[in-house]
Amino acid sequence: MPRSRTVLIAFLVVTAANLLANATGGGLAFLLTKPLLMPLLAAYLWQVSAERATRPDRLLLAALAFATGGDVALMIDGTGWFLAGMACFLGTHLCYLAAFTRHGAATALRRAPLVAVPLGYAVLTVVALTWMWAGLSDAGLAVPVAGYALALAAMASTAATQGWRVGLGAALFLGSDLLIAAGVAEVARPPGAPVLVMATYAAGQALIVTGRAARTGTPTDAPVTPATAPATP
């Protein structure tokens, strides 16, 4: 079995342990597993690159490093730590945005049918912020969350040009952050919210990383356009 697959299995095991800890209130297991998730994905990306004799994408590695910082910051209570975590994840989205743009996202998004993707995410962002604005304002977080949401929507839009896995992963990442924001604004708190947040976040990040890794160094490492879409992995 390739070492990269072993690392990916380890990521899945740690993710399952983290979700179980969230569901059962296992504080120690949660504290031990959450900081390991993104480093394991980074190790997977590094190992895949080594197996293919290519260099790992430094922007993706930087995105995962920022995400690790965000994960740790959000484990600590307090508005200051929440803002620190949001700043780290902003770094994650900007790194992903730069990586996807480097692979032709800006050009692809100017062509049909992908031109509709940024519009769709823009509408979703405006609707979500309008829905949560009063609660976010009460928490003193409306402006920073709005800025963060714009970067998140831009990242998700460019991700749609990188194949279905990366696009779906970014959408799940957005959904996870939407659940967090809705909880902070106190407009919605679905049953099992902590599990849903971590499940969508972990799945989203895994799809982004494995989707990009699958395309790197192959003929499919090109932006999705109407002409190339059928060949998307």
Q: 42 to each of 13, 49, 82, 200, 210, how far by Cα in Å?
A: 16, 11, 24, 18, 10
Select the more confidently predicted residue: 61 or 218. Answer: 61
Minimal CA–CA distance to 224: which of 103, 120, 119? 103
Above 80 in pLDDT, residue 151?
yes
Mean pLDDT taken over the chain: 92
Q: What is the mean pLDDT of residues 46-72?
A: 96
pLDDT of residue 188: 87
Above 60 in pLDDT, residue 78?
yes
Minimal CA–CA distance to 196: which of 217, 160, 172, 162? 172
Domain ranges, ordered by start, for the chain: 3-223
pLDDT of residue 226: 42
pLDDT of residue 215: 83
Above 50 in pLDDT, residue 233?
no
Q: What is the mean pLDDT of residues 23-48?
A: 94
Above 80 in pLDDT, residue 34?
yes
With cut-offs at 50, 70 and 90, classify the pLDDT of residue 222. low
Cα atoms found within 13 Å of the Cα of residue 174, Cβ hemisphere only: 24
Above 70 in pLDDT, residue 96?
yes
